[in-house]
Amino acid sequence: MTMSQPVDSANGHPVDERVLEALAVSRRGCDELLPEADWVRKLARSQATGVPLRIKLGLDPTAPDIHLGHTVVLNKMRQLQDLGHQVIFLIGDFTSMIGDPSGRNSTRPPLTREQIEANAQTYYRQASLVLDPARTEIRYNSEWSDPLGARGMIQLAARYTVARMMERDDFSKRFKAGTPISVHEFLYPLMQGYDSVALKSDLELGGTDQKFNLLVGRALQSEYGQEPQCILTMPLLEGLDGVEKMSKSKNNYIGIAEPANTMYAKLLSISDTLMWRYYTLLSFLPEREIAVRRAEVEAGRNPKDAKVMLAREITTRFHGAAAAEAAVQDFQNRAAGGIPDEIPEVTMSSAPLGIGALLKQAGLAPSTSEALRLVEQAGVRVDGATVCDKALKLAAGTYVVQVGKRKFARVTLTG
């Protein structure tokens, strides 16, 4: 993405400084902003007229809880909300009955109305931990989707072609592989796109896996004579394993409604490498301050210090400063309380060192493969935090490493 100063396409003049600031907020951490020139024009128009832009994010209540992966886009919504724009938190109670095929290699089982209603009850309450509820428009897409009826659905389907639908990557792969695609799955991107028509959105946010659906919204707005929305996609956040995207079904998630102690401990369990990804996508710190912390670690500071600061920041955001401090103290007490008075002291070189090799060299596991099996079984703790990532590498520093209930070692790693 070019970082040269944009110009107003209408008159060729340099863009107002306040618009540039809003563009910088939009760009931070995003994967794509399309078309950027159109977004600059919308921002400039809003600045000139004082009319806020309508910014939409839709989430299907497919599970009862929101996790930190969801907050990547919610955080972006809050940043744009703080610029004075109207954000719309759309609960996909209608589209959930279809099931989003994005990224799927099989048909997603649709939810029942009862499941959807039960899940939706908690969605807004949890989203309000990120968004300002007093300035958030809450909508349900059943408001306009249910009244469409069969006639309206047919008329909507006539505005998009099968050829364009098959340009979608997961559909084309399934078709080539001979994997069944149900006709109702074509309705999902159409109905999500129709949400943009109903809400007259100027910008729609989503994860990178939602790009096709967001583009359908642009196409349908044009079909209905509206100015097409811009789209802003955010990266998908990896879960605690550092590999798969954060998902409750994969048990690699951090729920924003989980107790403060649990949230803090889970954040400390991420790898040193994944930590910087979390800083980029979850932290509200200025980018220059994050760069300073990273430079300090690269210069030799223990990465655990930066991880503690990140875990404290995020836990404070969702539970408050007092609960976060209590979580820090609880973690320290648990880490210290379970350690015997005398444990083996081990010094080894070659930092950064993988957790499997470290356990073997420290005598805590008979082999690297066995060490990694113990990690898979959540039987390994470093400084009190359960290790979830088999690819974890520990930088230079001193760590209390525990395997099971009785094996301990104080490991000092040197470069």
Domain count, the chain: 3
Are 95 and 29 contained in the same domain?
yes
- Mapped onto helix, strand or coil, the DSSP state of residue 43 is helix
- Give tens-digit pLDDT for 298-343: 999 999 999 999 999 999 999 999 999 999 988 887 666 566 656 7
DSSP 16-40: PHHHHHHHHHHHTT-SEEETHHHHH
Are 298 and 219 contained in the same domain?
no
Are 216 and 321 contained in the same domain?
no
Q: Give the pLDDT score at 54.
A: 98
- Residue 407's pLDDT band (cuts 50, 70, 90): confident
Examine residue 22 and state whether it is found in any structural domain, yes or no. yes
Residue where a domain stops, chosen among 336, 360, 390: 336
Q: Which residues contact 296 (CB under 8 A, 6 or more apart)?
A: 306
Q: Give the pLDDT score at 340.
A: 65
Examine residue 53 and state whether it is found in any structural domain, yes or no. yes
- 401 is written with which tokens? 């490493």
- Give tens-digit pLDDT for 343-387: 788 888 888 899 999 999 999 998 999 989 888 888 888 877 788
Are 222 and 136 contained in the same domain?
yes
Examine residue 412 and state whether it is found in any structural domain, yes or no. yes
- Residue 399's pLDDT band (cuts 50, 70, 90): confident
Question: pLDDT at residue 1 above 70?
Answer: no
Are 151 and 292 contained in the same domain?
no
Residue where a domain stops, chosen among 288, 312, 336: 336
Q: Give the pLDDT score at 124.
A: 81
CA distance 206 to 209: 8
DSSP 86-103: EEEEEE-TTGGGT---TT
Lowest-confidence segment of 122-126, 223-227, 281-285 by average pLDDT? 122-126
Q: Which of 109, 95, 106 is nearest to 213 (CA)?
A: 95
Are 266 and 227 contained in the same domain?
no
Q: Give the pLDDT score at 252.
A: 86
Q: Give the pLDDT score at 9.
A: 53
Residue where a domain stops, chosen among 234, 250, 272: 234
Between residues 404 and 15, the one the model is more confident about:
404
- Give tens-digit pLDDT for 29-69: 999 999 999 999 999 999 999 999 999 999 888 777 789 99
Examine residue 253 and state whether it is found in any structural domain, yes or no. no
Q: What are phi and psi of 204, to 5 degrees?
A: -120, 135
Q: What Cα–Cα distance (Å) separates residue 291 from each residue in 31, 41, 54, 166, 333? A: 19, 31, 32, 42, 31
For the chain, give the mean pLDDT: 88
Are 352 and 286 contained in the same domain?
no
Question: pLDDT at residue 283 above 60?
Answer: yes
Phi-psi region of 232 (alpha: psi -120 to 50; beta: other; left: phi over 0): beta
CA distance 127 to 295: 33
Q: Specify whether the CB–CB gap between 174 and 126 falls below 8 A.
A: no
Distance of CA 40 to the CA centre of its chain: 25
Are 160 and 286 contained in the same domain?
no
Between residues 72 and 168, the one the model is more confident about:
72
The residue type at 217: G
Helices (H) and strands (E) in the chain, counts: 17, 13
- Residue 107's pLDDT band (cuts 50, 70, 90): low
DSSP 320-359: -HHHHHHHHHHHHHHHHHTS-SS--EEEE-SSSEEHHHHH
Question: pLDDT at residue 175 above 80?
Answer: yes
Examine residue 303 and state whether it is found in any structural domain, yes or no. yes
Q: Give the pLDDT score at 2.
A: 42
Question: For the CA atoms of 260, 117, 70, 18, what is the dihedral angle to 10 degrees?
Answer: -110
What's the half-sphere exposure (Cβ side, CA atoms, 13 Å) at 7?
A: 6
Kindly report the number of other CB atoms within 10 A of residue 91's CB atom.
22
CATH code assigned at 297: 1.10.240.10
- Residue 3's pLDDT band (cuts 50, 70, 90): very low
Q: Which domain holds residue 282?
A: 261-336
Q: Specify whether the CB–CB gap between 339 and 400 falls below 8 A.
A: yes
- Residue 388's pLDDT band (cuts 50, 70, 90): confident
Q: Which residues contact 131 (CB under 8 A, 6 or more apart)?
A: 74, 77, 78, 81, 87, 89
Q: Which residues are 399's β-sheet partners?
A: 411
| The total number of residues written for the chain in this structure | 415
- 146 is written with which tokens? 């249910």
CATH code assigned at 372: 3.10.290.10
Are 349 and 320 contained in the same domain?
no
Lowest-confidence segment of 133-137, 228-232, 326-330 by average pLDDT? 326-330
Are 148 and 291 contained in the same domain?
no
Examine residue 365 and state whether it is found in any structural domain, yes or no. yes
Are 72 and 213 contained in the same domain?
yes
Examine residue 245 and state whether it is found in any structural domain, yes or no. no
CATH code assigned at 209: 3.40.50.620
User: pTM above the 0.95 mark?
Assistant: no
Examine residue 376 and state whether it is found in any structural domain, yes or no. yes
Are 29 and 127 contained in the same domain?
yes
Q: Give the pLDDT score at 239.
A: 92
| Burial of 273 per CB tally in 10 Å (0-12, 13-18, 19+) | middle
